Amino acid sequence: MQFKKVTHVLFDLDGLLLDSENLYTEAFTTVCAKYGKTFTWELKASLLGFQGQECADKIIEVLQLPLTRNEFLNECQKEYEVLFPTVKLMPGAQKLVEHLHKKGVPIAMATSSSQDSVNMKMQKHMDFLKYFHHLTMGSSDPEVTKGKPDPIIFLVCASRFPDKPNPENCLVFEDAVNGIKAANAAKMQVVVVPDPRIPADQLKDATLVLKSLEDFQPELFGLPPY
């Protein structure tokens, strides 16, 4: 299959580089259970790629929780403080990011998480963050006015490279359907490493679907091979 060559790479964080989605699920499940509600996979799947406040609003609405957005976020925060310091990198993440950095490929991170959330999750992986030219953190970035599937996070992130690449010269790595939609709307190619429970038909608009970052071949997109 023929893919267009790219010059710049944008990475999502949660569920793609960082094995954190199961920790979010654990936190949401614990908080919802306090009010006799069940946090389901169906609800989880609909939230992937959302910013924190958007997630809170939807969970409260769907499960009819007797909480305000801030009350829900504060309860989740207590769970995160216990869970997040234990989070690990996903298979292949270190190898790919390090490789692109060493070969001089400009890379950046476009995550829906906030600065505080990234700091908490990455406290044992600070060296890993040094590979990225910049981090765009949607939930705390004033220029990122909407969460995915809106394309703005990828457009803002790409605009912060010094040479301001055209969107079609950027490759996005994602794990979520909302991320695929956002990348497509930004006119960028997108490689997705999805949760295996996501139905194949929801991934049809991805440029390439992989089971693991370990399976990625950079040369397919004109990037330096391993």
Active site residues: 12, 14
Contact (CB, 8 A) for 85 and 124: yes
Contact status, residue 162 vs residue 182, Cβ threshold 8 Å: no
Region class of 49: left (phi > 0), else alpha (psi between -120 and 50), else beta: left
Handedness of CA 176, 179, 174, 82 (dihedral sign): negative
Query: What is the rounded CA–CA span in Å between residue 132 and residue 144?
Result: 19
| Residue located via tokens 């769907």 | 62
Distance from C-alpha of 110 to C-alpha of 51, rounded to nearest angstrom? 12
Tell me which residue of 109, 14, 82, 16 sits closest to 52, measured CA to CA. 14
